[in-house]
Chains A and B, each alone.
Chain A
Amino acid sequence: MDLKFLDFEQPIAELEAKIAELRKVEFDNDINISDAIEQLEEKSEALTSTIFAKLSDWQISQLSRHPGRPYTLDYIEHIFTDFQELHGDRTYADDPAIVCGLARLDGQAVMIIGHQKGRDTKEKIYRNFGMPRPEGYRKALRVMKMAERFKLPIICLIDTPGAYPGIGAEERGQSEAIARNLFEMAQLKTPVICTIIGEGGSGGALAIGVGDRLIMMEYSTYSVISPEGCASILWKSADKSQLAAEAMGITSDRVREQGFLDEVVREPLGGAHRDFKTTTGNLRETLLRHLAELKVEPLDTMLAKRYQRMMSYGAYSDEPVKA
């Protein structure tokens, strides 16, 4: 598998290349050098551990956008069965940047909504790089209301650079589409579990991100603006992205410290793209656990807790005012 190593993974990449070369030599010449290969593999794993033990926030941000990371459809394939995709907002179009559908999770029917990015150039364009237009959010809302009607839990998988900033998107009410979802999701009478699987890009992520649980994959990020965007506005220079990533606290561990998360799902060594099976297995276990908790909760309690959670957002001081 072509792992597409990131800059900071270059030492690992070199070792892996050497291992691949040795394997080829072994295969071609029918000699036994498996001990040497094994040693190198151990070394590569140790090196990966060392590098991944102290990743910077900016490096994690790069991992969250790694082109090999599992996307929504990969999670659907590995975690769920009987997926039936549902298309269209019934008004204007079908937005391929958001995938919706019915599926079963361990036998129970659920509604899945997730951003979808593309792997090759053609698919990237088709999926618009995972940047939804208003019709994507409206499709999501349509199936959410349907899930509510048929008492199905909703699973949201979030992975977007942000809502698409285009002329048509503005004309068709990008703001309204996002706002409407926030408003409706706040009161959906069915459990909603949201997981950031890659990039949690601002309002475009939030628009399918309101619910009873907020989960982040270990190397995902969640931010109000991309580090590049923040850097270009506040530092007036896009190459200060590292500082911006650091300052905003966008990694799963930092977001958990800020008190917004229910759980961080651990990824295999080297990141989710190294091992889809383990990654998706970990998320499956987490989803099942939270779903079981939510299913026994009376609806009123669940909605009251969701409302309480939303009202608790914010950090401020409140001093009494002298009349």
Chain B
Amino acid sequence: MSWFEKLVPSTIRTNSSNKKNTVPEGLWNKCPSCNAILYNTELERNFSVCPKCDHHIRINARTRLALFLDEEGREEIGKGLKPVDPLKFKDSKRYKDRVSQAQKETKENDALVVMQGFLKGQPIVAAAFDFSFMGGSMGSVVGERFVRGVNRSLEIGAPFIVFTASGGARMQESLFSLFQMTKTSAVLTKLSEAGLPYISFMTDPTMGGVSASLAMLGDINVAEPNALIGFAGPRVIEQTVREKLPEGFQRSEFLQEHGAIDMIIDRREMREKISDILSMLMSGRIKPAVDTVVETIVETEIVVGQEMPVDVVVVEIIEQPENDTP
């Protein structure tokens, strides 16, 4: 409270302080880690990473995909899928009502958004969890969208990447939810068979059933700095073992130290690093039908205008007949 407000009689003070709270909404943001007050536009420009302390602030699925994919040529997959309530589940609230509320708040139908698109001109299918939708919990729609995304990857011969942010399985769907772990893991066997890269990009938090299925199965497992990643929640572990948990327990750095992830990638570098990794992983593949590749390249060249080695790829194709073996 400023010195001036302190002078104002209390009877008329309340209004002004209320107003004061509402004014900055949407304009300013506070870093949950260092409490720095940040200007939203600047924050967005910085991929929602705090410029003061490098804390990676949670972002929703659509923002993630917008930051990750090239601007042009995006197509959403499984958009029409919507959750149902197979068990007529009701706790203190009905599952149906929880879903409608989450849908209203997030403007999403469920906790996973999947898109086909391009990353620096290379075709890719990308999925992102929305933690703000019921804690990013995995129910039937999340599983089915994931499967359709992987199937699209198989169809077009492109890599698949998922950005996870989830508390785990969605209890209100009971076994329907538990078995999404089986379903998503099973579909990944096809990607592996086809020799297409799967990248699991874990963000804060990735726990429970999501961590113990699709998230840990990447050809490359990546995490954002300081993300909470693990099977059991810290509170459950603390109650079970009755010890204080070590500093940094279940954080990205801890996981890398224990061999669970390949690397930690700063959000601001995700496009560069992932695109680089993928182009290396994909370089050993026999190229698919020439026309489609050329078409893609031409399209992206015009639209995106990225500095990609268009000529090199085309030359490679010309030099390598379709059924050539490396």
Contacts and interface: CB of A to CB of B under 8 A. Distances in A.
B81 A167 contact: no
A175 B175 contact: no
A292 interface: no
B231 A169 contact: yes
B142 to A, nearest CB: 9
A170 interface: yes
A314 B144 contact: yes
A313 B90 contact: no
A320 to B, nearest CB: 6
B173 A182 contact: no
A114 to B, nearest CB: 19
Interface in A205-256: 206-207, 210, 222-225, 230, 233-236, 243-244, 247-250, 255
Nearest to A182: B185
Given A180-B216, A258-B175, A317 B82 contact: yes
Given A176-B216, A311-B147, A183 B189 contact: yes
Secondary structure type dominating chain B contacts: helix
B149 to A, nearest CB: 14
Contacts of B80: 318-321
A233 B233 CA distance: 12
A235 B246 CA distance: 30
A203 B86 CA distance: 21
A235 B260 CA distance: 34
Interface footprint category on B: 35 or more
Nearest to A187: B189
B250 to A, nearest CB: 6
Contact of A255 (B84, B175, B250): B175
A313 B212 CA distance: 17
Interface of A: 163-167, 169-176, 178-180, 182-183, 186-187, 202-203, 206-207, 210, 222-225, 230, 233-236, 243-244, 247-250, 255, 258, 260, 307, 310-311, 313-321
Interface of B: 79-84, 86-87, 89-92, 140-141, 143-144, 147, 169, 171-183, 185-189, 208-209, 211-217, 229-233, 236-237, 240-241, 243, 245-246, 249-250, 258-260
Given A166-B240, A234-B172, A250-B175, 6 more contacts: A171-B258, A183-B217, A206-B181, A234-B171, A255-B175, A315-B84
